[in-house]
């Protein structure tokens, strides 16, 4: 019996083999019959042997993992189960849905598990067993629920004063226990409160022995009370597994096989936990693409994943057929990361050249409209989905409607209202930041604020709660047509705004939750708000440096946000600033480093059209050497290949 026949017999209802059954109707073909030999080799690989499946972009790895899992589940006979782990709830949901399609089960049932790495770690190790390590006995000392309460590193809740160090660190105050963690890759404490200046000052220190001891003792007190941050959980789980052979033996029986999707995103701490489990006989299946590892800020190093595979002599299988993109896109991406493995593109997709376009740094906001107009000139329906991609949010802001530099607080409020009333989804974050800054200064002046979280006052419980409050204020204010009319003179507009904004705050402050339950929100009898000096007789709109966003339906997204997506057309926009990892020259500087992987991830999203947008003055010879052709926006479809 052939491999495909075995799969069809195991996963397809009687009478539907090679036909359009329910799971294949929308696909238009038998999803098993079309699988390649590479994919089948992995699906039928021994589940008892640790394996590393290296999958190129567009190789259908999620479906292959789902079919592999469904096939193993269909013939599973032992008490333990398979754990299939990913790194986001969305990815786990997609895998669950695919497995359900092939098993015919409405959900993944005991003894198997599909979810995030964190949820598995917390559910099967941390919450049920960590109290043995920390001696935490529950909130009332006799509570059977001894699960840990996760505290965000940015939290400054009042109760955390009981879990701070006695001494200050580098003149930045006494850190709370949630604001630092032990980094296993560097074997030292790392401060990560989210406040860059504070964290940088603390991390620049060379800690003395007594300081290391104090930080550890503060952590232990924190843990003994049932609190931890995510990094603490990983560290304690590692220590627990090292000390409890019985627990390792239990886990080896409970989950004799663990799959990890997007394995390139594994941290050093997670790899150490997997190593301990592997040493106890659990087979580990890693699935991913090391060239798509773009989480260095989380201390994710793809070389550690490769070392893990090498040291454990894992069987290596590959998926080298890219069904997403035509060969031109595939070849270009391989040049960016200097990939020697031949990757085959999709010959059924119309092949276009890959292009570069030059932009004027002063007019970077025009790029989105130019790209959209270029795509709209094509009447064949070739480009149904598209996106503009750039390295980070700062570049997105430069391509958005407004400049708010050197604005006074009153100007910022007016600009926030203008942006919110326009309703452009990608710009709303700017409105939240501007209004959040004003509200924090006006109503929470005695509390420190976090600029990176919409100026979240330290007394407010969470960033999401603060964001909800700001959004409510903006919505209520923008319901007033007079307030939205920024053609009014400042004197009249300010008079109207201070009444409307005061009422909005009065009717929305109940939404706020505080770290200190005794805290009372204080509302003055009226809001003090006036025209900026010298602007009283000017129209508001003329003073806020508002530039209307170019009308475009094309989303502008970060590289991280498009990871895993498939699009028809992509324009990847380089930063105009040299030396940053968002600049195109940085992408080409060293194919083994993360900037190259940024370009690789973004450039491998499109099926049909790839354009790099780089600043004027770029070395065009370098771009041509890569195989990019210069694009004139006036040319409709480029040159067919």
Supply the DSSP string of 366-389, one letter for each residue: GHHHHHHHHHHT--S---SSEEEE
Q: Mean pLDDT, to the nearest integer, of 495-516? A: 89
Which segments are annotated as binding site? 55-62
Q: Mean pLDDT, to the nearest integer, of 544-549? A: 62
Residue 318 has pLDDT above 90, yes or no: yes
Q: Say what the pLDDT of residue 395 is.
A: 84
Q: Per residue in 517-533, pLDDT tens?
A: 678 888 888 888 988 88
Q: Mean pLDDT, to the nearest integer, of 254-279? A: 96
Q: Which domains does the chain have, with CATH numbers?
A: 1-33 (no CATH), 35-145+227-321 (3.40.50.300), 149-225 (no CATH), 331-399+551-630 (3.40.50.300), 409-542 (no CATH)
Under a CB-based contact definition with an 8 Å cutoff, are residues 302 and 592 in contact?
no
Residue bearing the bigger pLDDT, 283 or 12: 283
Arithmetic mean of pLDDT over the chain: 88
Comparing 139-143, 419-423, 460-464, the range with the smallest average pLDDT is 139-143
Q: Identify the band that residue 32 occupies on the pLDDT scale cut at 50, 70 and 90.
A: confident
Q: Say what the pLDDT of residue 269 is.
A: 94
Q: Say what the pLDDT of residue 501 is.
A: 94
Q: Per residue in 94-110, pLDDT tens?
A: 999 989 888 877 778 78
Q: Identify the band that residue 331 occupies on the pLDDT scale cut at 50, 70 and 90.
A: very high
Which segments are annotated as binding site for ATP? 55-62
Q: Per residue in 437-487, pLDDT tens?
A: 999 888 987 776 777 788 888 888 888 889 999 999 999 999 999 999 999
- Residues comprising the chain, all counted: 641
First CA to last CA across the chain, in angstroms? Answer: 42
Per-residue H/E/C for 580-640: CCCCHHHHCCCCCCHHHHHHHHHHCCEEEEEEEEEECCCCHHHHHHCCCEECCCCCCCCCE
Residue 618 has pLDDT above 80, yes or no: yes
Q: Identify the band that residue 637 occupies on the pLDDT scale cut at 50, 70 and 90.
A: very low
Comparing 134-138, 411-415, 610-614, the range with the smallest average pLDDT is 134-138
Q: Say what the pLDDT of residue 233 is.
A: 95
3-state secondary structure of 282: coil
Tokens of 532: 């900026």
Q: Per residue in 217-250, pLDDT tens?
A: 999 999 999 999 999 999 999 999 999 999 999 9
Q: Say what the pLDDT of residue 173 is.
A: 93
* C-alpha span between 107 and 96 (Å, rounded): 7
């Amino acid at each position: 019996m052939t491999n495909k026949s075995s799969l069809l017999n195991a996963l397809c209802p009687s009478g539907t083999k090679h036909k359009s059954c329910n799971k294949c109707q929308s696909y238009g073909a038998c999803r098993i019959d079309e699988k390649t030999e590479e994919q089948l080799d992995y699906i039928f690989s021994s589940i008892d042997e640790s394996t590393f499946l290296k999958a190129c972009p567009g190789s259908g790895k999620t479906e292959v993992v789902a079919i592999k899992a469904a096939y193993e589940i269909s013939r599973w006979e032992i008490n333990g189960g398979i754990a299939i782990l990913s790194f986001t709830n969305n990815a786990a949901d997609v895998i669950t849905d695919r497995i359900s399609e092939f098993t015919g089960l409405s959900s993944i049932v005991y003894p198997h598990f599909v979810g995030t790495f964190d949820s598995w770690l917390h559910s099967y190790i941390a919450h049920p067993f960590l109290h043995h390590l920390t001696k935490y006995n529950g909130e009332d000392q006799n509570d059977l629920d001894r699960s840990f309460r996760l505290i965000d590193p940015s939290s400054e809740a009042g109760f955390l004063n009981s879990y701070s160090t006695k001494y200050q660190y580098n003149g930045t105050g006494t850190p709370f226990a949630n604001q630092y963690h032990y980094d296993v890759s560097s074997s030292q404490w790392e401060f990560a409160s989210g406040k860059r200046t504070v964290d940088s000052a603390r991390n620049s220190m060379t800690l003395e022995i007594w300081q290391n001891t104090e930080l550890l003792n503060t952590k232990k007190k924190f843990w003994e009370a049932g609190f931890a941050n995510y990094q603490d959980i990983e560290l304690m789980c590692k220590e627990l597994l090292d000390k409890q052979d019985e627990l390792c033996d239990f886990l080896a029986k409970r989950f004799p096989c663990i799959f990890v999707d997007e394995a390139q995103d594994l941290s050093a701490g997670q790899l150490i936990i997997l190593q301990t489990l592997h040493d106890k006989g659990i087979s580990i299946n890693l699935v991913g693409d090391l060239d798509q590892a773009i989480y260095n800020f989380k201390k994710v190093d793809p070389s550690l994943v490769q070392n893990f595979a090498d040291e454990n002599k894992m069987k290596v299988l590959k998926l080298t057929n890219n069904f997403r993109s035509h060969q031109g896109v595939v070849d270009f991406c391989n040049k960016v990361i200097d990939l020697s493995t031949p990757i085959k593109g999709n010959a059924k997709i119309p092949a276009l050249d890959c292009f570069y376009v030059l932009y004027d740094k002063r007019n970077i906001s025009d790029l989105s409209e130019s790209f959209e107009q270029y795509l709209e000139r094509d009447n064949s329906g070739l480009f149904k989905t598209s996106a503009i991609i750039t390295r980070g949010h700062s570049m997105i802001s430069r391509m958005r409607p407004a400049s708010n530099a050197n604005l006074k607080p009153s100007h910022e409020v007016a600009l926030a209202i203008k942006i919110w009333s326009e309703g452009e989804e990608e710009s709303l974050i700017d409105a939240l930041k501007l209004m959040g800054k004003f509200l924090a200064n006006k109503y929470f002046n005695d509390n420190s604020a976090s600029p990176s979280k919409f100026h979240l006052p330290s007394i407010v419980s969470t960033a999401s709660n603060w964001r909800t409050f700001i959004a409510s204020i903006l919505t209520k204010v923008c319901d007033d047509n007079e307030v939205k009319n920024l053609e009014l003179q400042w004197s009249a507009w300010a008079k109207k705004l201070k009444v409307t904004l005061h009422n909005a705050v009065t009717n929305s402050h109940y939404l706020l939750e505080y770290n200190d339950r005794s805290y009372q929100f204080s509302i003055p009898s009226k809001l003090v708000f006036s025209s900026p000096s010298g602007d009283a007789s000017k129209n508001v709109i003329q003073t806020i440096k508002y530039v209307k966003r170019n009308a475009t339906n094309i989303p502008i997204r970060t590289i991280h946000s498009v990871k895993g997506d498939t699009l028809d057309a992509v324009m990847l926009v380089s930063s105009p600033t040299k030396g940053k990892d968002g600049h195109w020259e940085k992408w080409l500087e060293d194919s083994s480093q993360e900037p190259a992987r940024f370009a690789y991830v973004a450039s491998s999203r499109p099926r049909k059209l790839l354009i790099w947008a780089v600043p004027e003055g770029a070395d065009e010879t370098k771009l041509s050497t890569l195989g990019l052709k210069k694009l004139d926006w006036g040319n409709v479809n480029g040159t067919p290949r």
